[in-house]
């Protein structure tokens, strides 16, 4: 029957064409597939973790091709004043700065994308392999001059792994995704620390500039007093010239502080992913300091339990232990089931066929070596976890000691050093006015007071830096500043007696 042979050949070509087109369309769809790190709490028991997974979806319409010649959105972000969260602020808020850095910084977005990519490994790990379409035909049997029946066969085969293998692969992928989510948390902690440090540099620069203005005013008063005494022939011109040298040195110091201010602003704007020269509101006039710390042992225990870095390592250890179980499953065979219709057989009863292929895992040495490799990898990662926990305990203890030392240093400056230095400066000023103290001793007292005032502000900033390091080491805010136990930063403008 020539017509039957033609129809059969057309059906065969159509099946092959449809499979080819389906493969092409699937390949194209894969390039724009959505990225959705979905939470699978029913399949993953989080190890040392209670953080909720946030869904981050990237639809096909949001996938944009980027070439090397395209300009980044970096410039647009920095130039859009409507998008500036600090536009109407009287001062730069540290909490708002940290929140904006975590929302805008590309490094956190990169880690979230890595988490999303890791979450997409689960459906790939548990999916069956694509079924195989099988076909074969004898071309000469379709010729019109052929005396035999049209000969071909069509079949389908599906590979099925041993029970439990797909589930273990899925668990391993889920643990890897969980580890990636904790990497996001660790990056967030480090961005918060970097934001605090940049903010403190900006704050310290502003305080030093204020001190410079007040000290320049005081030095000008000293110069006027020296000039009056010189015109009255009470002192030599050297006193006036020495005052001019001091004023020139303060002017040079102002140039240094202006340069440091630009650097501090550029650092903050870089963290915010915008232009380095974008304007910022001034920092707050003072920082409240917490006077008491929790016990160091409690902070160490909390850090080991809650640090995202350790949680990520614990999740990866779980993934590797799952890989050990999967390696043990490799000693068991996999199956391939198939069915086909074979017209090479002349009897109709023999044309419909079913079958099964089973691999024979005879190479036990290879599988045993793979299992041992995974077991050694688990031991390695467990040792790395123990080392990381020791490092975190050490970091907490070191930061704790530095914070305690910083608190004591600030209290000494507030209660003893600065009051005494101001009294010494006032006494030197009064003595010079009365003629009992020479100008060099007055200038020396002024220099000492300026140096101590700057060291006081540096000590305050350094204390907050150590506090930021402690919170990063612990993995959470240590405590909340309160007005009841805060340290008020006193005015540090040199006291000049009235009428002098």
Q: What residues have CB less than 8 Å from 333, skipping those under 6 apart?
A: 162, 358, 359, 360, 361
The answer to whether 500 and 437 are in contact (CB under 8 A) is: no
pLDDT value for 260: 93
Domain membership of residue 26 (yes or no) is no
The answer to whether 433 and 500 are in contact (CB under 8 A) is: yes
pLDDT tier, 80 (very low <50, low <70, confident <90, very high otherwise): low
pLDDT value for 225: 80
Over range 199-207, report the average pLDDT.
Answer: 93
Q: 296: closest CA among 402, 222, 144, 200?
A: 402
Domain membership of residue 332 (yes or no) is yes
pLDDT value for 23: 42
Q: 113: closest CA among 67, 172, 65, 56?
A: 56
pLDDT value for 73: 47
Domain membership of residue 143 (yes or no) is no
Stretch among 124-128, 359-363, 457-461, 481-485 having the lowest mean pLDDT: 481-485
Instruction: Tell me the C-alpha distance between 85 and 337, whole Å.
Output: 62
Domain membership of residue 50 (yes or no) is yes
Domain membership of residue 138 (yes or no) is no
pLDDT value for 11: 52
pLDDT value for 432: 80
pLDDT tier, 14 (very low <50, low <70, confident <90, very high otherwise): low
Stretch among 28-32, 242-246, 271-275, 477-481 having the lowest mean pLDDT: 28-32
pLDDT value for 44: 37
Helices (H), 307-417: 308-329, 364-412
- What is the percent of the chain with per-residue pLDDT over 70, rounded to a whole number? 78
**Which pLDDT tens digit goes with each residue over 253-294?**
999 999 999 999 999 999 999 999 999 999 998 887 666 788
Residue of higher predicted confidence among 221 and 295: 295
Domain holding 446, by residue range, is 34-57+87-127+161-474
Residue of higher predicted confidence among 297 and 35: 297
Phi/psi of residue 157, each to 5°? -130, 145
pLDDT value for 24: 40
Domain membership of residue 368 (yes or no) is yes
**Which pLDDT tens digit goes with each residue over 403-417?**
999 888 988 999 999
**Which pLDDT tens digit goes with each residue over 21-76?**
444 443 333 333 333 333 333 333 444 334 334 444 444 344 445 444 444 444 44
pLDDT value for 154: 93
Stretch among 64-73, 162-171, 180-189, 392-401 having the lowest mean pLDDT: 64-73
The answer to whether 287 and 207 are in contact (CB under 8 A) is: no
**413-420 LR contacts (CB < 8 Å, sep 24+):** 413/452, 413/455, 413/456, 413/459, 414/456, 414/487, 414/490, 417/452, 417/456, 418/452, 418/453, 418/456, 418/490, 418/492
pLDDT beyond 90 at 199: yes
Residue of higher predicted confidence among 447 and 307: 307
Domain membership of residue 441 (yes or no) is yes
What would the DSSP string read from start to end of 69-80? TSPPTHHHHHH-
Here the CATH number for the domain that contains residue 426 is 1.20.1600.10
Residue of higher predicted confidence among 237 and 155: 155
Task: Label residues 469-481 b or e (16+ Cβ within 10 Å = b).
Answer: bbbbbbbeebeee
Query: Cα-Cα-Cα-Cα dihedral of 332, 337, 342, 344, to 10°?
Result: -10
Question: CA-CA distances (angstroms) from residue 58 to 51, 61, 113, 120, 126?
Answer: 22, 8, 10, 12, 22
**488-492 LR contacts (CB < 8 Å, sep 24+):** 488/286, 489/286, 489/287, 489/460, 490/414, 490/418, 492/211, 492/214, 492/418, 492/453, 492/456, 492/457
Q: What is the largest CA-CA distance in the chain?
A: 138
Number of domains in the chain: 1
């Amino acid at each position: 029957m020539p017509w039957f042979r033609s129809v059969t050949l057309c059906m065969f070509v159509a099946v092959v064409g449809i499979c080819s087109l389906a493969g092409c369309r699937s390949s194209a769809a894969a390039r724009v597939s959505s990225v959705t790190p979905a939470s699978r709490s029913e399949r993953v028991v989080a190890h040392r973790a209670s953080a909720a997974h946030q869904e981050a979806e990237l639809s096909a319409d949001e996938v944009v091709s980027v070439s090397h010649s395209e300009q980044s959105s970096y410039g647009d972000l920095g130039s859009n004043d409507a998008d500036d969260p600090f536009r109407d602020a009287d001062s730069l808020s540290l909490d708002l700065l940290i929140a904006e850095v975590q929302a805008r910084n590309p490094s956190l977005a990169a880690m979230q994308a890595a988490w999303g990519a890791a979450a997409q490994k689960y459906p790939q790990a548990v999916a069956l392999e694509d079924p195989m379409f099988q076909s074969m035909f004898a071309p000469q049997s379709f010729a019109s001059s052929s005396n035999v029946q049209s000969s071909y066969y069509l079949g389908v085969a599906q590979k099925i792994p041993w029970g439990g293998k797909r589930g273990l692969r899925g668990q391993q992928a889920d643990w890897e995704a969980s580890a990636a989510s904790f990497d996001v948390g660790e990056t967030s902690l480090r961005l918060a620390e970097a934001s605090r440090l940049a903010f403190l540099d900006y704050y310290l620069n502003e305080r030093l500039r204020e001190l410079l203005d007040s000290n320049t005013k005081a030095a000008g008063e000293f110069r006027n007093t020296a000039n009056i005494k010189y015109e009255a022939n009470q002192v030599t011109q050297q006193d006036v010239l020495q005052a001019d040298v001091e004023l020139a040195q303060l002017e040079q110091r102002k140039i240094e502080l202006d340069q440091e201010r630009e650097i501090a602003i550029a650092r903050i704007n870089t963290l915010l992913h915008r232009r380095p020269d974008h304007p910022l509101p001034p920092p707050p006039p003072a920082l409240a300091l917490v006077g008491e710390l929790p016990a160091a042992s409690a902070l160490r225990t909390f850090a080991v339990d809650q640090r995202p870095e350790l949680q990520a390592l614990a999740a990866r250890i779980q993934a590797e232990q799952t890989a050990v179980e999967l390696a043990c499953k490799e000693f068991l065979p996999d199956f391939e089931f198939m069915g086909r219709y074979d017209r090479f057989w002349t009897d109709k009863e023999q044309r419909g066929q079913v079958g099964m292929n089973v691999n024979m895992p005879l190479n036990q040495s290879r599988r045993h070596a793979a299992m041992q490799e995974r077991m050694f990898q688990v031991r390695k990662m467990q040792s790395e976890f123990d080392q990381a926990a020791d490092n975190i305990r050490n970091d907490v203890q070191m930061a704790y000691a530095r914070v305690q030392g910083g608190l004591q240093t600030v209290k000494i400056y507030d209660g003893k050093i600065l009051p005494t230095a101001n009294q010494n400066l006032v006494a030197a000023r009064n003595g010079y006015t009365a003629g009992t103290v020479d100008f060099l001793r007055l200038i020396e007292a002024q220099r000492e007071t300026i140096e101590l005032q700057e060291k006081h502000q540096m000590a305050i900033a350094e204390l907050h830096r150590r506090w930021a390091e402690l919170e990063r080491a612990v993995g959470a805010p240590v405590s909340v500043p309160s007005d009841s136990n805060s340290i008020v930063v006193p005015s540090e403008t040199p006291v000049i007696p009235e009428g002098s």
